[in-house]
A and B are shown apart, each in its own frame.
Chain A
């Protein structure tokens, strides 16, 4: 029971190696054995963790300040169980196509082991190692099709993320030099005294910028839409659902470690800008996967507003939004993947009549869309309301919030064009894919039911105050929807010149690096002005 954190890192990696070495079709089925074992271990571990609430495992019995440690609390447990579930879904989704492809399975399972390690690591250096290995493996998975477009995207992704993660190392140097340890808890204790010093703020800035690169904040988002557009369908789902969240998870852990509250307003503004920019770019795209990628940037912005929030409700809302967005975006990418596979094109203008051709898939697709635009009684709406509730009547923030809602509705109104039109029904082609899709949708609905039950029984105060009667929410949503439809009808559907120009707007690798430098510079200026 004590060693479960190590087992859930080691089992997928060992299975991956066995699959890769044996190269036999039968052995490939062992991935399901590994998944079953992991599920069993994690369910057992929950009983253990719910008693202790925090479990720290010092590997090798070394002293806290020099040894490697793994830590699990309820937040990391949420991520662990989410990732194991989503890997189940990916394996079922891809099984028909990849069951003989032991190389793909090797990288997929290795990535799972690394990701589980990343979530549980309690010292900043092993966090660096895990996040870098995860970047390398995910870039291999992005270029898996080996065509020119995905190679370009993969190179851009790996190069830019490596530059970002090296900045993390500069921060690590400063922290190690001042505190003499790498353990997150020990650093937090040591930094209590010297929190406001200039060089600690510099270290904080470097850490946060590298996490910003990993999770695609405003000026350094450029790798994300490329990578999402080029990767295989299930890998785009994984990237958007989990790997982008690894940066946000690092953001949460490092903010906990530094415990600095100076940058709250800065990150909130950054979150708003990220969200608005994601909406503008997503509306202008003509490719389903690119649109979903930019929509991910939008939601990263919303989560950033939540988790950098100064209030408990906003913070909780941000964390719940991570969970909700991971599940919903997963289902959307998978449904879009089925559509793209059937039509052999990802352009919205070329796909028509999905509802008649793939009725089951489009049923799930529509449910996913309804959830992600934040329609009433769904999970996304609850977490968005929790984040909005934290502002407590700050008018600018509330107006911005409604703008964000309208924008995300416009994106999915544009995407819903693919359902209409004539098509011929295809029979029983995507059975496994639809099963995995159904699995995700069921979990989304279950979490929705769970949260709404929680909001009535436990004291999630703001959830209830912002839900003053479901009628008000319904009214708000329908007003937003009418606005969004009008915007779509008058501006977006015409495909005007401005939208075409925004679509062509592209940032080269050199300019992305300049933006990275500007990002660092902005944070430095902000901290100087503040003092």
Chain B
């Protein structure tokens, strides 16, 4: 077990804990992004190995890293950016409506 894999899982649990306790909408959005980032880190690290080469440079095929996960994770990052921007837009509108972005205060308002 490599240290980065352990770290990846640790950050996943940390961000889920953060989602369970954060009282502020912005913090929830940040923890969502951390969760996503840690999953991306984990995936890219799992396919990596020692002395691996970048797949676009010429060289031996067996020494190259698998390019598919990178393509997938770029897509995930793009989706995550769109989700985050939409969430932030919604929280701005909510602040204009209610004057607060605290979960508890928001849920008490009608």
Contact = CB atoms under 8 A, between A and B. Distances in A.
Interface in A129-159: 129, 132-133, 136, 139-140, 143, 146-149, 151-152, 154-155, 158-159
Interface in A200-234: none
B52 interface: no
Interface in A296-332: none
B84 to A, nearest CB: 9
A162 B32 contact: yes
A504 to B, nearest CB: 11
Interface bin, chain A: 35 or more
B104 A136 contact: no
Counting chain B CB atoms within 10 Å of each CB, which of A66, A125, A146 scores highest?
A125
B20 interface: yes
Contact of B90 (A132, A158, A517): A158
Contacts of A132: 79, 83
Contact of A152 (B21, B28, B69, B94): B94
B94 A155 contact: yes
Contact of A129 (B35, B42, B79, B86): B79
Interface in A483-531: 506, 508-510, 513-514, 517
Contacts, number: 87
B42 A173 contact: yes
B21 A148 contact: no
A136 B19 contact: no
A176 interface: yes
Contacts of B110: 149
B32 A514 contact: no
Contacts of A163: 19, 32, 35
B20 A136 contact: no
Contacts of A154: 90
B7 interface: no
Contacts of B104: 508
B103 A509 contact: yes
Contacts of B103: 508-510
B44 to A, nearest CB: 10
Contacts of A151: 90, 93-94, 97
B35 A159 contact: no
A152 B101 CA distance: 10
Interface string B63-97: 00000110010011001001100110011011001
A6 interface: no
Contacts of A509: 28, 103
Interface residues of B, number: 40
A129 B110 CA distance: 34
A400 interface: no
B19 A508 contact: no
B12 interface: yes
A166 B35 contact: yes
A506 B107 contact: yes
Contact of B32 (A133, A159, A169, A173): A159
Nearest to B67: A66
A120 B75 CA distance: 19
A-B CB proximity, top 9 nearest: A148-B97, A513-B19, A513-B20, A155-B90, A173-B43, A169-B39, A514-B20, A132-B79, A151-B94
Given A136-B83, A148-B98, 15 more contacts: A66-B68, A136-B82, A148-B94, A151-B90, A154-B90, A155-B91, A162-B87, A166-B32, A166-B39, A169-B39, A169-B76, A173-B46, A508-B107, A510-B23, A514-B20
30 contacts: A125-B75, A132-B83, A136-B79, A136-B83, A139-B86, A143-B93, A146-B93, A148-B94, A148-B98, A149-B110, A151-B93, A152-B94, A155-B90, A155-B94, A158-B83, A158-B86, A158-B90, A159-B29, A159-B87, A162-B83, A166-B35, A169-B76, A170-B12, A173-B39, A173-B43, A177-B46, A508-B103, A510-B20, A510-B103, A513-B19
Interface of A: 66, 125, 129, 132-133, 136, 139-140, 143, 146-149, 151-152, 154-155, 158-159, 162-163, 166, 169-170, 173, 176-177, 182, 506, 508-510, 513-514, 517
